[in-house]
Structure 1
Amino acid sequence: MTELDLAAVRAFVAAVDEQQFSLAADLLGLSQQAVSKRIARLENQLGTTLFDRRRGGVTPTPAGARLLPHARALLALADTALAAVRDNPGPLRIAVLGERQAEMQSLRFYLDRHRGADTEIILSTAFHTSRDALLGGRADAAFARAHGGPRPLPEHIGAVAAYVDPLHLLVGKDHPLAGAAAVTLTELRRYTVWVPGAAVPSEWSDYYRDLSAHTGLAIDTRPRPAAFAHTDTSRGPAPIETLLDHIAASDTLATLSGDGVRAPWHPHIRRVPLVDPTPAYPHALLWDTTNTHPGLAPLIAHFRDTYNSDIAADCWIPPADRPLFLH
């Protein structure tokens, strides 16, 4: 009987998530050669090729894609088993999308009031999301949508509504809507709404697809070479500073930003509220219900108690998220 090497399985999952052996090596604290050897050993054990090697990165073969969900589940089970027998479970690992996002601000509020909590913040990326970190065993909890994304959440993942973030319109000072006190979604249909970060298949690209279907907004997710000529976008969306520079210089483009997002200040950017209704992004707190980490219970209780449900009642939220957020 073939016994899988957990170290090789972990290298396989990291390579899928990072799309490059070198980046997987950085994530695991190994050399690229060590990652390559572990994956080669796993391929020999299974008698199949797990990756298509191409210039600039790797993608899983059909066999690799079939292995991936089982590999993630195996690693999560192994991490849970280790934590169960340790006297010290270690820090509570919480995954967030980024330091500027609303969920990071709400998490800081929690940590300021729980200064004794042993916590480690994991910043995710467009290609390796907070949900991926949770499902892959790298995080004990994650802020993300409970719906959407490339695959549904397993049944053992719990979720509570944590924060709804109303969206505002960002335009340049010369845009026709720059001086408006507020803009309805119907009025916005006449203009181009550019959200390049939603080009990557993810829970938030699904959100914007649902918003477009509901409102009729034309949401453009295509990259604009002129905007990002000097920016490497191969590992994800361009920095927000680059996006804002392009919006500020245009009299036709607009983009969307959450009210709780700490966007960099720009002298030529104008923020305009959206109304009738106000779209809002639903941030849930997700966790593995089989995880016994003692830091989970107070974290869950805090966000269950502080969820801004009064704001959610007047916002548009995708139908799939409403049962969790509009109860």
Structure 2
Amino acid sequence: MDTEALRSFVLAAELRQMQHAADELGVTQQAVSKRIAGLERELGVRLFVRTARGVEPTLDGQAFLPHARGIVAGVDRAVTAIRPGSRALRIDVLGLRTAQAVVLHEYWRSRPGTELDVVTLRVDDPHVVAAAVQAGEVDAAFRGVTDPATLPGEVRMIHAFDSPLELLVGPRHPLAAERAVTPDRLRGLPIRVPGIAPRSEWGVFYDQLATEFDLRIDAAGPNFGNEVLADALAESADLATLVGARDRYLWPAQHDLRRIPIVNPALVYPLSLLLPRTNPHPGLRAVIEHFASLPPLTGPAWLPSWARNRATG
């Protein structure tokens, strides 16, 4: 089976655009489409359906995706295992538009030639990710365990950096013209945050946040992605969501969405890094130093319970 065809399929499935997959691979969209068509012929199934936004995996494509992703990851690990010189530093992030990926990109741009492999494990439970760190599948992962005592003995958790939340609303929202808002002004407003998963650190975070400030945070129903959420915000006169200040989201210009800082106190999501307790990858030191160089929080801030007394573990 052609591993480059598998790689093209995985990227197209994750990015939902053949052109985006082609851009990532440095080839033409026609080349990506040809590879995937060959893979479909070999498997005897359709892997994608066309949509107005790009492509979506079929049911067969969804079933095939985790296996294809595992094959591609295995090939990559095999190649890096015999690559001359230092193996690339492999770090797991929750998504390529998150603050984690944005800050890692800033670090990489500041150090030309750095070997860095940014991956997404697509796992909600941070304990599963900790096991991947312990097993050496990744060198570090941007995940937090709300009870550090439950970490494997060979894995430690350190504070990476803080991500203040912002309110994201459409132009007809009652707070759309505000330059900043305080948490008390969010009470009673419908706040949609799709993708809050059981056993995830962000699930605990939003539970504590909603309780502390009496917020109506709705995570019910399927998660159709950021594009669908942006459409809903643009059309609504009262719906809002919460995003990290460094998160990179895109939406059509006509949506006219507004990002509004939340202050007094700032609502802060603490980003942590899981890494081996012994013999960590030598490239991690410079990454951690980069985190330490980021501007600190100013003004009053609210943090979830597990971040109020920080320790390096």
Decide whether the 8 Å contact of 2:164 with 2:267 is kept in 1: yes
> Is the 1:195–1:256 contact (alpha carbons within 8 Å) kept by the matching residues of 2?
yes
What is the SS of the residue equivalent to 1:275? coil
CA separation of 1:113/1:146 partners in 2, compared to 1, >3 Å: closer, same or farther? farther
Tell me the secondary structure at the aligned position of residue 29 of structure 1: helix
Q: Does 1:27 align with 2:14?
A: no
Matching residue within 254, 263, 276 for 1:288: 276
**Paired position in structure 2 for 1:174:** 172
Write the distance in 2 (CA, Å) between the matches of 1:148 and 1:212: 20
TM-score normalised over the length of structure 1: 0.64
| Superposition map of 1:231-250 within 5 A | 237-250=223-236
Partner of 1:191: 189
* CA–CA distance in structure 1, aligned partners of residues 260 and 63 of structure 2: 43
**CA apart distance, 1:240:** 0.8
> 1:178 deviation in Å?
1.4
Match of residue 261 from structure 1: 247
Secondary structure in 1 aligned to 2:273? strand
For residue 128 of structure 1, report the CA deviation from its aligned partner: 7.0
Which residue of the partner structure matches residue 133 of structure 2? 134
Quote the Cα distance in structure 1 between the aligned partners of 2:305 and 2:125. Answer: 25
CA shift in 2, pair 1:249/1:135, >3 Å: farther
Shift of 1:134: 2.7
- List runs of 5+ in structure 2 lacking aligned partners: 1-61
The partner residue of 1:124 within 121, 125, 144 is 121
CA distance in structure 2 between the aligned counterparts of 1:318 and 1:110, rounded to whole angstroms: 27
Give the Å deviation of 1:174: 1.3
The alpha-carbon deviation at position 257 of structure 1 amounts to: 0.7
Cα pair distance change 1:319/1:241, threshold 3 Å: same
- The correspondence of residues 63-78 of structure 1 with structure 2, limited to 5 A, is none
User: What residue in structure 2 maps to residue 314 of structure 1?
Assistant: 300
- 1:21 CA drift (Å): 7.2
Aligned residue pairs total: 241
Residue pair 1:126, 1:200 contacting (<8 A) in 2 also: no
Structure 1 residue 147 displacement after superposition = 2.3
Q: Give, in angstroms, the shift of residue 152 of structure 1.
A: 3.5
1:90 matched to 2:132: no
What SS class does the counterpart of residue 286 from structure 1 fall into?
A: strand
Q: Kindly tell me: are residues 21 and 135 of structure 1, through their superposed partners in 2, closer, same or farther at Cα, counting changes over 3 Å?
A: farther
Map Cα deviations across residues 2-43 of structure 1 (whole Å, 9 max, x no partner): xxxxxxxxxxxxxxxxxx97444223329xxxxxxxxxxxxx
Pairwise CA distance, 1:250: 1.1
Deviation at 1:186, TM superposition (A): 1.2
Deviation at 1:258, TM superposition (A): 0.8
Report deviation, 1:222: 0.7
**Does 2:154 match 1:156?**
yes
Matched to 1:277, the amino acid is P
Whole-Å Cα distance in 2 between the matches of residues 307 and 183 of structure 1? 24
Deviation at 1:88, TM superposition (A): 5.4
**SS of residue matched to 2:137:** coil
Partner of residue 165, structure 1: 163
Unaligned 5+ runs, structure 1: 1-19, 31-78, 224-232
Give the deviation of 1:96 after TM superposition: 0.9
- Residue from 197, 201, 212 that aligns with 1:203: 201
Distance 1:222 1:153, change over 3 A: same
C-alpha distance in 2 between matches for 1:276 and 1:29: 48
Code of the residue aligned with 2:297 in structure 1: it is D
Between the aligned partners of 1:189 and 1:126, the Cα distance in structure 2 is 31
Letter in 2 for 1:315: A
Cα root mean square deviation, aligned: 3.2
Rounded Cα–Cα distance in structure 2 between residues aligned with 1:127 and 1:310: 27
Alpha-carbon distance, 1:105 to partner: 1.5
